[in-house]
Structure 1
């Protein structure tokens, strides 16, 4: 018994100290500039990296908080990503189990009736045995199983990061859908107010036409603008219904009116200030890039497993138990026995199978390197594009705000001059149309500003808290 324990301990020590034939992992250098383009900084004291913020701190509207929380709890795509994590974890546990021997208990009974003329002792012989041991346990001297175990672990980590990336995308998509609904509700309100204004103009023009002051052309022009605004109401009403459907799909549940926005408004629903001189190293915190690196590490470990296949594979079968010629003596004195049967196998002619597996592992590693570098380049472009838009969007909002104010004042003046008979009707109609277009453009620009903030959140990895 003591000898068996010593042997088992020695074998375990050899296994734990097994070498690895995987190449030493080195993270590829960034295939992008060292620094991201600097964004204009309006409020340096409020600057923050989105990945350092909880999403509840980045998004400031409490109703939006409720919708995002509902999405995190109910979205089916996120549930699938979480189930994928559990699958990867289970596979890793299965692979890890190969490092240790599988211990099993066995019992058997053999009954024989031997003729008297064919054996020293003729007659019936009963043999009973019971043992505990392991069968064909591979002693991992060359690190094949350990490298396979590491590859499975890295695959698990990659799946975890893929789930985190899915959560970041879900938060961004939910916020975008919520703000789109807010903008479309504002568009509907603008169209309804415009229909009322165009309707009043149309009635005034009809009255002047009846009095012989206005022409039928002016009536038809006023009718055209009025009908266009009515068409916009119908279109925006449909868009609002579709926006709500899209938002509830992301949330994974129906949403009460209290969770929905009344309108976009002029205030931002996000915190989007960023410090200047951002390093490209920040992109490595993105979950999708982290997942790509774990895939690369797994491919690196698989090279070690493929190399180890060229060396002998040593396995061990061992048992300790008791055996006797009668059931009553099975656990009696002198019935103990043990056996240890090591074996080794070395491939000699495999017709290039191991060489092919090694080449495949190396080629897979090269693919993963390219995919990792491509993910970084894509992330750099997304972040750079978002920063470039951030540099100009606030100025565009200010210009559109000034344009809207000027258009509103021009309409007031044109209507007053038309009623006074100073200007023709066409000047008033043009002023009405210009105001309507300015209101729509201002709203669209504000939505672009919000979308840019959400893209910055996603491009820098978002907050997962």
Structure 2
């Protein structure tokens, strides 16, 4: 009879193990295919390798900006928080990975008790090592949780990279904002001086009775408008510097601030976009979404594993004796070993509902992944759309500036000669000032667009072009490679 039970027990154990190993291969299920409708090319394709392949120290032409970027990467608080999140995710992954190994603990104790079989209290001593409720991962539940923690760690690291790329772009554009706020302030100062000269001239003509008071008041309006612009641009300069200090995480040294209007932001003569597949590799936010999709798939595996029995192992080995002097003698050695089985029978559908929740979470992660791809291509195409026409706009605006400046000079000469009224001069002066302001706005937009295209292509993660970027495989990719 004992042999029959022994054979039956071995058969059940072998069958359970075979079923468990088979279940481990299919518990997670197939990975969903993304349908992001990726375009075959960009709206305006620029040949050559992607500008994102360049490190920011080679891409940006001004070494003052490069030094400001180095300060920002060392001191920015958002980037520091992102780095700390990586450390947290790494430790969480380590904890989950450790759950695959048994936890061994030491124990010792002294027990004094009174029993009915003895006339006096007895004392017992014990010391040993033990394993408590170590789960035998037949169904891959713990392994799936480990994969989930790994993918979340990789997603957190990619989120940190995305934060760095965004920071590089924000610092460069804030540095440009400071430069052009100063340029607008200088233009407003020059305009104010010109308006004051016109005001003094009209006042003298009024004092000697050549003109009426109307031109004087018109000139005064222009003076006060210019003064308002000067005050406004002083505020913009201060705000741009404050924003730059916030992004950098400290006070930016004065020698690193642009004293003159920046005319060139990058050392690259051509802004290559590369092929569309390069974008998926260079954009860390897309990689982060992919890791989260893989993590959601691992959660499904863990939820499905909960449908099967949970087998745990508890054991201990040590010494026990009623006499402390005999505790470590050979006859005092004791051990125990025993499995425990938790079989789900009826939980009112809770475990199946958890599977449905995990599957829904994966569908959400899939949608987010597809959206991140679409967003990446949209941002690149938006930057390219601006780039495609910015040259024509700049050329036209420069011609407009030349024409309005010439008109102003001619109108002023005719006014001084007594041919035209001051109203013609005033109109020409306003038009010229507006054209100059428009040119500064377009020049800033052109430089900002170069930064935006570099950022949207995934540039800014590397300091030097020769640096290598390591892309880790997700748990889904590792599973597919096996």
Q: Could you state the TM-score of these two structures normalised by the residue count of structure 2?
A: 0.86
Q: Please state whether the residue corresponding to 1:60 is helix, strand or coil.
A: coil
TM-superposed deviation, 1:325: 3.2
TM-superposed deviation, 1:408: 2.1
TM-superposed deviation, 1:196: 0.9
Cα distance per residue 1:374-394 (max 9 Å; x no partner)? 111122211111111111112
Equivalent positions of 1:48-447 (< 5 A) are 48-114=49-115, 118=117, 123=120, 125-269=122-266, 271=268, 273-275=270-272, 278-447=275-444
Taking only aligned residues, the RMSD between alpha carbons, in angstroms, comes to 2.4
Cα distance per residue 1:290-310 (max 9 Å; x no partner)? 111111100000000111111
TM-superposed deviation, 1:66: 2.2
Counterparts of 2:274 and 2:80 in 1: how far apart (Å)?
Answer: 37
TM-superposed deviation, 1:462: 2.0
Cα distance per residue 1:102-145 (max 9 Å; x no partner)? 01111123334556xx36xx655443222112110000000001
Q: Please state whether the residue corresponding to 1:19 is helix, strand or coil.
A: helix
Cα distance per residue 1:338-392 (max 9 Å; x no partner)? 2210121110011111011001000111111111111111222111111111111
TM-superposed deviation, 1:31: 2.5
Q: Assess if the C-alpha contact under 8 Å between 2:50 and 2:274 holds in 1.
A: no
Q: Could you state the TM-score of these two structures normalised by the residue count of structure 1?
A: 0.89
TM-superposed deviation, 1:319: 1.6
- Structure 1 window deviating more from structure 2 (61-70 vs 230-239): it is 61-70
Counterparts of 1:278 and 1:198 in 2: how far apart (Å)?
Answer: 53
Q: Assess if the C-alpha contact under 8 Å between 2:56 and 2:459 holds in 1.
A: yes
Counterparts of 1:442 and 1:241 in 2: how far apart (Å)?
Answer: 22
Q: Assess if the C-alpha contact under 8 Å between 1:38 and 1:278 holds in 2.
A: no
TM-superposed deviation, 1:27: 4.8
Do residues 36 (structure 1) and 37 (structure 2) align? no
Identify the residue that residue 6 of structure 2 maps to in structure 1.
none
Counterparts of 1:430 and 1:92 in 2: how far apart (Å)?
Answer: 69
Identify the residue that residue 28 of structure 2 maps to in structure 1.
22
Cα distance per residue 1:182-222 (max 9 Å; x no partner)? 11100000010111111112222222223333332222222
Structure 1: give runs of 5+ residues left out of the alignment. 1-9
Counterparts of 2:92 and 2:274 in 1: how far apart (Å)?
Answer: 42
Q: Assess if the C-alpha contact under 8 Å between 2:199 and 2:223 holds in 1.
A: yes
Cα distance per residue 1:61-103 (max 9 Å; x no partner)? 1222222222222222222222222221121122111111001
Counterparts of 2:273 and 2:241 in 1: how far apart (Å)?
Answer: 37
